[in-house]
Structure 1
Amino acid sequence: MSEQIKIHLPDGSIREVPSGTTPLDIATSISPRLAAVVVVARIKALHAAPPASTTDETTSEDAMYAADNTAAEKIVDLRQPLTEDVSLELLKESDPDALKVLRHSAAHVMATAITELYPEVKLGHGPATDNGFFYDIYREKPFTPDDLAAIEQRMADVVKRDEPFLRSYEPREQALADYAAHGEFMKQHFIEKFTHPGEEVSLYKNGAFTDFCRGPHVPSTGRVKAYKVTTIAGAYWLGDEKNPQLQRVYGTAFYNQKDLDAHFKHLEEIKARDHRVLGKQLDLFSIQELAGSGLIFWHPNGAIIRKTMEDWMRDECLRRGYDLVVTPHVMRRELWQISGHEGFYGQNMYAPMELDDAEYRLKPMNCPGHILIYKNSPKSYRDLPVRYAELGNVYRYERSGTMHGLLRVRGFTQDDAHIFCTPAQIEDEVVACVEFAEEVLHKFGFNEFKVELSTWDPNDAKHYVGDPKDWELAVNGLKTALNRKNIPYKEIPGEAAFYGPKIDVKLVDVLGRLWQLSTVQFDFNLPRRFELEYTGEDGEKHQPVMVHRALFGSVERFFGVLIEHYAGAFPLWLAPIQIGLVPISEKHTAYAETVKKELEAIGLRVTLDARNEKMNAKIRDLTLQKVPFVLIMGDKEAEAKAVSVRTRGKGDEGSTPLADFLARAKNLLETKAATL
């Protein structure tokens, strides 16, 4: 008689079944209809240690090929034999984990189609991503758009065949020999890297196609119903330009056509909001080839928005008890050696430059400069906390091909602040920084955000500095601050800065996209490295602790997100041109000049179009510039001291007394309202 195991179901019931029973067997025993709609299973071993936290990123080789997940909770095939007591959830198509599995399966369907059409190809890896999937392919001849169409068509044949995804195992040495015989150098690499001698290798087969893979997969290729091969890009094998260049074929998949159509509609919305396109249309910024990649030139329209953002930030810092400072763009190399940036961050810094007295490096961070200001004069506990804020320009060496408009640049302005305080003050200061971050997001029109707590990985200590006890205290301090604010967060091990853990605040834009901008970091290492001190109440010298915080993150990146969030239609307080004036004819220009002066008197940026053009042409031009308000003036308005108002997004609102419009505009300006 086979051993019995206990399966705990979500409704609280427990089923005793023979060891080796599969989730599909359980589903069938509950209801054949349920068995027909479930996709994969989530199991959790009972009495096991909790699973390690992981990031949402699913495109790494480790995620694809590392050894089977032995964590307490994992996703498995419906045909996976169960051999111990577990809790079991049967996942339907609506579960996010089921969508990831579908996309991984779709990658296998695409690889099947590619190998059938082009037998000469060699396969890399094919993971699911947040938005779809890809497969790395080595082929000497480049794929063409016609090839992509053919691949998608052949995928339809693979889906129609409804081939089951079947898992099998093979001795490692045999798998290596098989792949070597067919010249599959990438598969050999993955097996050698992610398995050990003597192990069995996990393979998945559908029809005649077999792939080295840990799974899981949907039951069969027929479950991959709504998909699209989207694009192709180049990628060097192992990211090394000395290695062969691969062709990365991208696609996406959903469980139904409705969701697939909605996805592409969403992509069209994103395309329409592309900050690079809008930046050019609205004359906000440019990147000049002659000057170099990743370096931003702010045009007048963009520069006035930047000034408005920075003025608000500086005023808010002063209101919250910060002192404003300014530090040099370039400093001696020795400084970066003391701070640890030379060793831990050197690959992201520009190369040293030799001047008269020493080697210098462009600064990638503002923190060492603020430390030197703190250290310039003695401090007492009565002086703490000391808060230094700077909108400082920094320079980081981003690799060619990684730059992306305003979102990934080589030179940018960080709204940096560093707080030096006593250990007893740290919690209040972190809470204040989180509250400040919330205010920044709300003020600029973002009403939703998510929080991550990035901690260190004690098993990878070479990438961090400091004592494990200090790290534990720092992490607990940040957790306490978040709990005090009742802010839910996700812990991300291994993502801390080299000098301390951090809180990352990710805003959610109007399209539901996450953007990493605000960060609050705890640092006990730099004060020690620079031998910072203050005199305590006991008359003895003590070491302060330090908080790094950047709330825009960078002015450039934040501005790029703003452009896309608002699709270039900025709120009144941020818009480069806030009011456009259109006199109907030349004889109404004098009244328009009077209106312009009254609007400018309350601080509005106004343009008067007095060209000898038709009124509708003037209105169209101002509309294309996304000006919040267009005021039209003719005989009737001049006589009544009124204006005819056209509001962006709402159209013609008719005539209104000038005094009433002035009051409305002044209120929008003073409250910094996100809507008109």
Structure 2
Amino acid sequence: MTAGSQSPADAAAHAHIVLTLPDGSTREVPPGTLARDVVGSIGARLLQASLAVAVDGEVLDLMTPLRASGSFVVITEKDPRAVQVLRHSGAHILATAVRRLRPDAKIGFGPAIDDGFYYDFEVEKPFTPEDLAAFEAEMKKVVAEKYPFVREEVSLAEARVRFADDPLKLERLDDFEGSDEVISTYTDGPFIDLCRGPHVPDTSYLKHFKLLTTAGAYWRGDVKRQMLQRIYATAFFKKDELEQHLHNLEEAKKRDHRVLGKALDLFQLFPVAPGAVFWTPKGTTLYNTLEAFVRERQQEAFKEIKTPLLYNKALWEQSGHWGKYKENMFLVLDSETGEHDMSLKPMNCPSHHLYFASSKHSYRDLPMRYVTFDVLHRNELSGALSGLTRVRQFAQDDCHVYLREDQIADEVKFLMDFILGYYDTFGLTAKLKFATRPEQRIGSDELWDRAEAALRAALDSTGRPYEMKEGDGAFYGPKIDFDVMDSIGRAWQLGTIQLDYNAPERFDLTYTGDDNAPHRPVVIHRAVSGSFERFIAILIEHFAGVFPVWLSPEQVRVIPIAIDYNEHAEALVARMKAAGIRATLDARNETLNYRVREGEVQKVPYMCVIGRREADENTVALRSRGAGKKQDIMSSDAFIARVLHEIADRTLAMPADVVAAASDAAATATEQPGATT
């Protein structure tokens, strides 16, 4: 045998792949071994409980041939990833049912999403609620028939033959031209689909599911392409989880900020200004109260500045946005050049960098925190606009911190405590996620290595748990995202801490160190609310419009029972306003019951009814929000002190009956005031 040659035994060993189990043991198997065979070698009971596997984190179903070595984890129903496998399988079962009843339907895509799944179909007429009911009934039949999900790997030519009657699938197959990506199909009964998986073993696993709604969706998200019909659905392993989810969806409908915003007279939207909000007087009060709260919390440690809204493209080229973000920017025609060389700013970062670079800084000055509340504009697709949650014009509590590398850990802890404390004020909890470099990015790998290592070390030093989001960082740096949970369990991505080593290089940012030489700072991008518009939408739905007293646009409504007590009521309102309480007078020529009922519908925290006794004794007949017809008699002095205390403390906790009534109150938001209470 010559030097360097390989024996047949060595070659055979090299041909095997090595799978490392969670306990550290290994399995060596030939390439192409099915995942289910490896699971079966571990244990028959485990195979019976298994739904899929994960190889180096990639989820594969049991019928997938294994091709590479790596960590090997068996996914059972208890694994959080299992429900996504179930839901993706549900999308195929939905498509199977639709094709049975509507053979003319052309099939698009059917992925699992965070809270369910959907499938897109091209049909001549939109689906109706009756169609959905029929599809759901047919899905139950497919489930009962217990069809196995049969996986096949096919050539591109064979795939085109199999999907010759499905133009949407044929177009998708064009993407495989010249690629070495594996093409796989899945069959459940008579239905075949182009899909990479994964799926549960057979259709009977989908026991608890519900078709929810239909919506229009452009093919491949392109507004220039045909409109498809998208069916949204959800599925869970347990019946009670499905029922809870459906309950939460109904609750979310009651709390829809678009409905409550109109009913409570907070904001309006007009077609002539798509994606831009008109704030009513009440809405403006809510907005300004929130902004004032943010300013108050930042006044000691942050420096607020205002910067221009319109810039030449040279700034965006320097920052990297012109190449990475241009399609999302509102471009403005330069009257001198005749070119779209100007843009409304979509973010504040470059303007803050310009300002920092305009003067000299010592290492003793750092960290420097600049915050701006300027209006921003982003050119969102018209079909993506939605109430306050997706707009084109908005403002952020946007901050950029300029600091030394040795300050990163302390600064991240400071900002994290600041952000989480802000959410606590509103009764919101947050989960942390660490996002790493995306495929499309600026800067060298060396800079990214340094940034990711520094930010992760800072996050680890806080001792707070977090999840990984591989490849989801900003194009200029890694980030920590804050996913905030509202009162009905929905997650909203809000705050962020982003570490940026690229901006200091691009903008030549420096500070003078203790060695009297220039040094590069690093930059942290920080947002807390995200945009004020979106955060207010979340607050409306989180509180079901039942805002804490300090945040309520109208805090007290004074209602005299007859004209004889108007003067006393007016004096009480004036006194409360002078004390800093947002009080109003309702002395209209309507019945008392009508006026009280309207105050309830408008979710006013306190109503003070003034009659003879109250006027004579300087008291109020107090009706607290959510307390029904119960009235408490108390002195006006004591009441004013109570309200001022709740405002000063930004009291969140309300009486138990108010909290319990919040969801019911949301349901009555659109009711008209009645004649009786």
Alpha-carbon displacement from aligned partner over 1:342-369 (angstroms, at most 9, x marks no partner): 1121111112321458943211111222
Match of 2:103 among 119, 137, 146: 119
Alpha-carbon displacement from aligned partner over 1:231-280 (angstroms, at most 9, x marks no partner): 22222322234434322222222345443333222111001111111111
TM-score, with normalisation over the residues of structure 1?
0.86
1:167 is paired with a residue of what secondary structure?
strand
Rounded to whole Å, the distance in 1 between the matches of 2:18 and 2:296 is 63
Residue of structure 1 equivalent to 2:88 = 104
Match of 1:675 among 653, 659, 671: 653
Residue of structure 2 equivalent to 1:535 = 512
Match of 2:61 among 66, 76, 80: 76
Rounded to whole Å, the distance in 1 between the matches of 2:96 and 2:255 is 36
Match of 2:627 among 637, 645, 650: 650
Amino acid at match of 1:505: F
Post-superposition shift, 1:293? 0.7
Rounded to whole Å, the distance in 1 between the matches of 2:38 and 2:594 is 67
Q: Structure 2 vs 1, CA of residues 608 and 11 (structure 1 numbering), >3 Å: closer, same or farther?
A: same
**1:365-514 equivalence runs, <5 A:** 365-446=347-428, 448-457=429-438, 460=439, 463-514=440-491
Alpha-carbon displacement from aligned partner over 1:324-347 (angstroms, at most 9, x marks no partner): 211111122222222222112111
1:553 is paired with a residue of what secondary structure?
strand
Residue of structure 2 equivalent to 1:63 = none
Rounded to whole Å, the distance in 1 between the matches of 2:179 and 2:290 is 58
Q: Does the CA contact (< 8 Å) of 2:149 and 2:199 recur in 1? A: yes
Q: Does the CA contact (< 8 Å) of 2:61 and 2:200 recur in 1? A: no
Match of 2:584 among 607, 615, 627: 607
Q: Does the CA contact (< 8 Å) of 2:604 and 2:625 recur in 1? A: yes
Post-superposition shift, 1:128? 1.6
Higher mean C-alpha displacement, 559-568 vs 115-124: 115-124
Rounded to whole Å, the distance in 2 between the matches of 1:376 and 1:293 is 37
Amino acid at match of 2:524: V
Q: Structure 2 vs 1, CA of residues 239 and 200 (structure 1 numbering), >3 Å: closer, same or farther?
A: closer
Matched, 1:630 2:611: no
Amino acid at match of 1:626: K
Post-superposition shift, 1:521? 1.6
Residue of structure 2 equivalent to 1:58 = none
Q: Does the CA contact (< 8 Å) of 2:357 and 2:509 recur in 1? A: yes
Post-superposition shift, 1:80? 7.9
Residue of structure 2 equivalent to 1:364 = 346
Rounded to whole Å, the distance in 2 between the matches of 1:381 and 1:215 is 54
Q: Structure 2 vs 1, CA of residues 545 and 201 (structure 1 numbering), >3 Å: closer, same or farther?
A: closer
Post-superposition shift, 1:398? 0.6
Q: Structure 2 vs 1, CA of residues 201 and 408 (structure 1 numbering), >3 Å: closer, same or farther?
A: closer
Rounded to whole Å, the distance in 1 between the matches of 2:631 and 2:653 is 16
Residue of structure 2 equivalent to 1:571 = 548
Q: Structure 2 vs 1, CA of residues 158 and 613 (structure 1 numbering), >3 Å: closer, same or farther?
A: same
Match of 1:339 among 308, 319, 336: 319
Residue of structure 2 equivalent to 1:62 = none
Rounded to whole Å, the distance in 2 between the matches of 1:363 and 1:39 is 51
Amino acid at match of 2:101: L
Q: Does the CA contact (< 8 Å) of 2:408 and 2:458 recur in 1? A: no
Amino acid at match of 1:147: D
Q: Does the CA contact (< 8 Å) of 2:409 and 2:459 recur in 1? A: no
1:354 is paired with a residue of what secondary structure?
coil
Rounded to whole Å, the distance in 1 between the matches of 2:68 and 2:260 is 57
1:573 is paired with a residue of what secondary structure?
coil
Q: Does the CA contact (< 8 Å) of 2:267 and 2:283 recur in 1? A: yes
Rounded to whole Å, the distance in 1 between the matches of 2:407 and 2:65 is 53
Amino acid at match of 2:317: Q
Post-superposition shift, 1:620? 0.7
Residue of structure 1 equivalent to 2:333 = 353
Structure 1 stretches of 5 or more lacking a match? 45-49, 52-68
Q: Does the CA contact (< 8 Å) of 1:165 and 1:217 recur in 2? A: yes
Rounded to whole Å, the distance in 2 between the matches of 1:503 and 1:84 is 31
Residue of structure 2 equivalent to 1:146 = 130
Rounded to whole Å, the distance in 2 between the matches of 1:653 and 1:380 is 62
**1:114-193 equivalence runs, <5 A:** 114-179=98-163, 182-193=164-175
Rounded to whole Å, the distance in 2 between the matches of 1:518 and 1:9 is 37
Post-superposition shift, 1:445? 2.7
Q: Does the CA contact (< 8 Å) of 1:23 and 1:78 recur in 2? A: no
Residue of structure 2 equivalent to 1:55 = none
Rounded to whole Å, the distance in 2 between the matches of 1:216 and 1:500 is 32
Amino acid at match of 1:502: K
Q: Does the CA contact (< 8 Å) of 1:173 and 1:197 recur in 2? A: no
Rounded to whole Å, the distance in 1 between the matches of 2:361 and 2:202 is 69
Q: Structure 2 vs 1, CA of residues 220 and 380 (structure 1 numbering), >3 Å: closer, same or farther?
A: closer
Rounded to whole Å, the distance in 2 between the matches of 1:150 and 1:539 is 77
Q: Structure 2 vs 1, CA of residues 514 and 205 (structure 1 numbering), >3 Å: closer, same or farther?
A: same
Amino acid at match of 2:170: Q
2:434 is paired with a residue of what secondary structure?
strand
Rounded to whole Å, the distance in 2 between the matches of 1:552 and 1:386 is 20
Post-superposition shift, 1:203? 2.5
Match of 2:51 among 40, 43, 56: 40
Q: Does the CA contact (< 8 Å) of 1:172 and 1:198 recur in 2? A: no
Q: Does the CA contact (< 8 Å) of 2:408 and 2:455 recur in 1? A: no
Post-superposition shift, 1:413? 0.9
Q: Does the CA contact (< 8 Å) of 1:506 and 1:516 recur in 2? A: yes
Matched, 1:661 2:649: no
Alpha-carbon displacement from aligned partner over 1:538-594 (angstroms, at most 9, x marks no partner): 222222222221211111111111111111111111100001112222223333233
Alpha-carbon displacement from aligned partner over 1:278-301 (angstroms, at most 9, x marks no partner): 1111111111122x2101111100
**1:244-259 equivalence runs, <5 A:** 244-259=226-241
Higher mean C-alpha displacement, 568-577 vs 661-670: 661-670
Residue of structure 2 equivalent to 1:555 = 532
1:655 is paired with a residue of what secondary structure?
strand
Post-superposition shift, 1:470? 1.8
Q: Does the CA contact (< 8 Å) of 2:39 and 2:74 recur in 1? A: no
Amino acid at match of 2:504: P
Percent identity between the aligned chains? 41
1:427 is paired with a residue of what secondary structure?
helix
Rounded to whole Å, the distance in 1 between the matches of 2:362 and 2:23 is 61
Q: Structure 2 vs 1, CA of residues 361 and 214 (structure 1 numbering), >3 Å: closer, same or farther?
A: closer
Matched, 1:91 2:76: yes
Amino acid at match of 1:208: P
Residue of structure 1 equivalent to 2:195 = 213
Match of 2:254 among 272, 286, 291: 272
Residue of structure 1 equivalent to 2:285 = 304
Q: Does the CA contact (< 8 Å) of 2:621 and 2:634 recur in 1? A: yes
Amino acid at match of 2:334: E
Q: Does the CA contact (< 8 Å) of 1:172 and 1:199 recur in 2? A: no
Post-superposition shift, 1:615? 1.6
2:587 is paired with a residue of what secondary structure?
coil
TM-score, with normalisation over the residues of structure 2?
0.86
1:378 is paired with a residue of what secondary structure?
coil
Post-superposition shift, 1:141? 4.3
Amino acid at match of 1:367: C
Match of 2:573 among 583, 593, 596: 596
Post-superposition shift, 1:116? 1.8
Alpha-carbon displacement from aligned partner over 1:15-60 (angstroms, at most 9, x marks no partner): 99998764785798449xx94xx3614455xxxxx54xxxxxxxxx
Amino acid at match of 2:467: K
Amino acid at match of 2:304: L
Q: Structure 2 vs 1, CA of residues 644 and 455 (structure 1 numbering), >3 Å: closer, same or farther?
A: same
1:415 is paired with a residue of what secondary structure?
strand
Q: Does the CA contact (< 8 Å) of 1:103 and 1:253 recur in 2? A: yes
Amino acid at match of 2:313: R
Rounded to whole Å, the distance in 1 between the matches of 2:246 and 2:473 is 35
1:466 is paired with a residue of what secondary structure?
coil
1:250 is paired with a residue of what secondary structure?
strand
